[in-house]
Amino acid sequence: MEEEYAALLANQTWDLVPHLPGGNVARWVVLRGFTQRPGVDYDETFSPVVKPATVRIVLSMALSRLWHVHQLDVKNTFLHGTLTRTVYSAGGFCGSYSPRDDLPPQLAPRAWYSRFATFLVTLGFIEAKSDMSLFVYRQGDETAYLLLYVDDIILAASSPHLLQRIITSLQ
């Protein structure tokens, strides 16, 4: 959390503004999501994650075909999304930092997923209809499956060259 918070500070992801009278303010939620109220603290939530059955199927196929599998972790995931509207939030982060009254950013799973999925399409991936967190790449004899679980990725590819090419593109 401290590393994530430091990245948010370094990227200047928010501006301090006065509280708007009567305005709804989202809270920076880490472990207290249960305190938010639909329609008051947030309008909607969205964080697609790959289905466990999809993970099992893809890994079984990769194993049976002797494919190459690699796991990736995206650092500071929510810095990569682009919010489509202004979000006001209140609260702060307590770690090695002292409690603050500044306004941390609303974490944006929908914005991250949308930007990432759009980028995968530019690489030639297609979103599977059965699981929106499974992306399939097919070109000639090359095939790859990408599984997305928020900021974790499992990539299975038919060749080490394809695997490395996709990893390089994702960087």
Handedness of CA 123, 7, 18, 38 (dihedral sign): positive
pLDDT in tens, the chain (171 residues): 677 777 767 766 666 666 666 665 554 544 444 455 555 545 555 567 889 999 999 999 999 999 999 999 887 655 555 555 555 555 555 544 443 433 334 446 677 788 889 999 999 999 999 999 999 999 999 999 999 987 889 999 999 999 999 999 998
Let me know how long the chain is.
Answer: 171
The stretches of the chain forming alpha helices (DSSP H) are 2-10, 52-64, 109-122, 160-170
